[in-house]
């Protein structure tokens, strides 16, 4: 009986470790929306665009021009596209 209980506890601990490992790989949306202006995106270096896009789970494929356009399309809205906050 003790062997069965030990096996059950061992299996539970293993399952818990697997769940914790899985939780670390899940996407987690940043708490705040990026507050960059159009001018900020136009001057942003490629590494920063890559980081911003990947933080929000967006694709980081293409050249610098494509990434800038994608970021501006995703994060700048209507009248806020040229207005600074």
pLDDT digits (tens, 9 = 90+) for 20-38: 555 556 767 777 888 899 9
Q: What pLDDT was estimated at residue 49?
A: 96
DSSP H helical segments within the chain, as ranges?
2-25, 38-43, 46-55, 64-75
SS3 15: helix
Could you identify the residue written with the tokens 């061992």? 10
Domain ranges within the chain, ordered by starting residue: 2-81
Structure token digits, residue 53: 């896009």
Question: Bigger pLDDT: 85 or 21?
Answer: 21
| Mean pLDDT, the chain, integer | 77
pLDDT at 70 over 80: yes
């Amino acid at each position: 009986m003790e062997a069965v209980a030990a096996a059950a506890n061992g299996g539970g601990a293993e399952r818990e470790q697997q769940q914790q490992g899985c939780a670390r790989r899940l996407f987690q949306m940043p708490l705040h929306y990026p507050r960059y202006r159009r001018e900020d995106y136009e001057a942003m270096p490629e590494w920063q665009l890559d980081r911003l896009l990947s933080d929000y789970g967006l694709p980081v494929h293409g050249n610098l021009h494509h990434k800038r356009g994608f970021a501006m399309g995703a994060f700048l809205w209507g009248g806020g596209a040229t207005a600074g906050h």
